[in-house]
Amino acid sequence: MPTYDFIGAIAPGQLGVAQATLPDPTGNQVLIQVQYSTLGPFDLYCLDRQFYVHSYPHTFGVNAAGIIDKVGPGVTDLKVGDRVVALPLPPAPKGAQPYTLQDRSVVAKIPDSLPLEQAVTFPDNYVTAFYTLFNQLGLPLPTAWPAKDTINAGRPILIYGAGATSGQYAVQLLKLAGYTNVVAAASKHHHEYLKTLGATSVVDYKSATFAKEVEEAAKGKVELVVDCISITHTFELITQVIRPGGSIAWLAPFKAGSGSLAGSDGELLFEIPMETQAIFPQAVNFICVRTFHYQQDERLKDVAMPTILPKLIELGFQPNRILLLDHAEPLTRTRDAFELLRQNKVSGEKIVIKIIA
């Protein structure tokens, strides 16, 4: 059978060239010839800390953008040559390789006007934001986009780490869903951009008067919080502004004891330590967001990617800003990307890797 080379982890902490067999799609699967993928903190955890790594060689990339190469017999709405993005979910092959085989439910067709290197930023963080808001936090799923007559549209919602790529999508989704009291906490250099995406108010999370500014913007304590960073320090700030009985949805894993999203110096947890929970007001609901579980929601499984994402793009849903690595050859690009992640040098941008040579 035909094979292809890809860049992956060939041993703990070691990148190299590995080989895979070129698969044929069956049922509702499609085979994508990948042109661009992304690398982010989750990939770094896999490489450096063997997080969710079960065997070697291990592939990276929770996003893929490219061209449909083949379709399975159950796929009737996509054809060879279509431009698509995909969210590879375990146990399917990941996206940072020349070919990836994916179920139709995690694939979205994109317009010719949208460059693939920008479109590849959508899948993981769009789905993360969508699942967080309309499943984990329980906001009503709009029946139309943009939403009209949103119930309780003025409820105060804080997006902490709104400058992060997932936070940018959360802000846009809340705007399109009709919410009018969205407070975005981010570094100052992200503020103007977040306003263009739909944030009602923006607050500098480094401000000495952070809590006061959030409460002034939200007109009181906030009811719902999305923490896109999920480290000990972010929880120490959020506890100052969340109301008793409120909910905080935090993007897993929680980096206990870490000072950055890279998480290199802390534990990676799926439960909040009791000593951290203890600093919060009474009856706060802690919600661990695991994006890979989104397809357990039958309302979202077959529409979030195939139907809703293309509609949102038509409405002007903005991709993340990118840091494109297309220099040298694929192994060098991949090494350079991981080094940027280790040094926590990327803010508000998605690292995009050109996969084809």
The per-residue DSSP string of 46-100 comes to: HHHH-TT--SSSB---S-EEEEEEEE-TT--S--TT-EEEE---TTS--SSSSEE
What's the confidence (pLDDT) of residue 263? Answer: 63
- Residue 81 reports pLDDT greater than 90: yes
Q: Do 63 and 353 meet the contact criterion of CB atoms below 8 Å apart?
A: no
Q: How far apart are CA 120 and CA 223, in angstroms?
A: 32
Residue 109 contacts by C-beta under 8 Å, 6 or more apart in sequence?
A: 78, 82, 83, 84, 306, 310
Q: How far apart are CA 136 and CA 149, in angstroms?
A: 22
**Which one, of 230, 225, 229, 228, lies nearest residue 281 by Cα?**
225
Q: Phi/psi class of residue 230: alpha, beta or left (left: φ > 0; alpha: ψ in -120 to 50)?
A: left
- Residue 262 reports pLDDT greater than 80: no
What number does CATH give the domain 3-121+320-354?
Answer: 3.90.180.10
Q: How far apart are CA 160 and CA 184, in angstroms?
A: 6
Fold identical between 3-121+320-354 and 125-293? no
- The pLDDT tens digits of the residues spanning 154-213 come to 999 999 999 999 999 999 999 999 999 999 999 999 999 999 999 999 999 999 999 999
What's the confidence (pLDDT) of residue 158? Answer: 98
Percent of the chain with pLDDT over 90: 94
Arithmetic mean of pLDDT, 51-70: 96
What's the confidence (pLDDT) of residue 90? Answer: 86
* CA dist list (Å): 240 to 8, 160, 279, 323: 42, 13, 9, 34
pTM summary value: 0.96
What's the confidence (pLDDT) of residue 21? Answer: 96
- Residue 261 reports pLDDT greater than 80: no
- The pLDDT tens digits of the residues spanning 107-163 come to 999 999 999 999 999 999 999 999 999 999 999 999 999 999 999 999 999 999 999
- Domain map (residue ranges) of the chain: 3-121+320-354, 125-293
What's the confidence (pLDDT) of residue 252? Answer: 95
Q: How far apart are CA 267 and CA 275, in angstroms?
A: 14
Cα radius of gyration (the chain): 20
Q: Indicate the range of 33-47, 248-262, 278-292 predicted with least confidence.
A: 248-262
pLDDT confidence band for 92 (50 / 70 / 90): confident
Q: Domain 125-293's class?
A: alpha beta
When comparing pLDDT for 266 and 103, which is higher? 103
* CA dist list (Å): 108 to 42, 91, 198, 280, 306: 22, 19, 24, 40, 5
Q: Do 169 and 126 meet the contact criterion of CB atoms below 8 Å apart?
A: yes
Report the chain's mean pLDDT, rounded to a whole number: 96
